[in-house]
């Protein structure tokens, strides 16, 4: 497990905050945790740019909203 540099951590923080704006009150703990996990995995694989992390967070938000919509319909 490689240690992430300060810039990457700052990028991840910014992206997480931006991504969670779609949720009421900035998202709950579980939503934020899932997005953060995906960001961490991606960053550890070398995807450390703001644009790259934004794409990962957007995909995670879309996935979460699809899952939540399916659960809400049941």
pLDDT tens-digit profile of 40-65?
A: 999 999 999 999 999 999 999 999 99
Q: Is residue 36 part of a domain?
A: yes
The pLDDT, as a whole number, for residue 3 is 86
End-to-end CA distance of the chain: 39
pLDDT above 60 for 38: yes
pLDDT above 50 for 1: no
Mean local confidence (pLDDT), 25-54:
97
Number of domains present in the structure of the chain: 1
Closest by Cα among 62, 25, 63, 56 to 42: 56
43-to-22, 32, 62 alpha-carbon distances in Å: 22, 16, 19
Identify the three-state secondary structure at position 59: helix
Q: Is residue 1 part of a domain?
A: no
**By residue range, what is the domain housing residue 55?**
6-73
Q: Is residue 51 part of a domain?
A: yes
Q: Is the pTM of this model over 0.85?
A: yes
């Amino acid at each position: 497990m490689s240690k992430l540099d300060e810039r990457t951590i700052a990028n991840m923080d910014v992206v997480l905050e931006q991504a969670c704006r779609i949720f009421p009150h900035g998202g709950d703990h579980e939503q934020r945790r899932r997005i953060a996990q995906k960001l961490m995995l991606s960053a550890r694989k070398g995807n450390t740019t703001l644009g790259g992390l934004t794409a990962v967070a957007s995909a995670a938000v879309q996935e979460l909203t699809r899952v939540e919509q399916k659960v809400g319909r049941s």
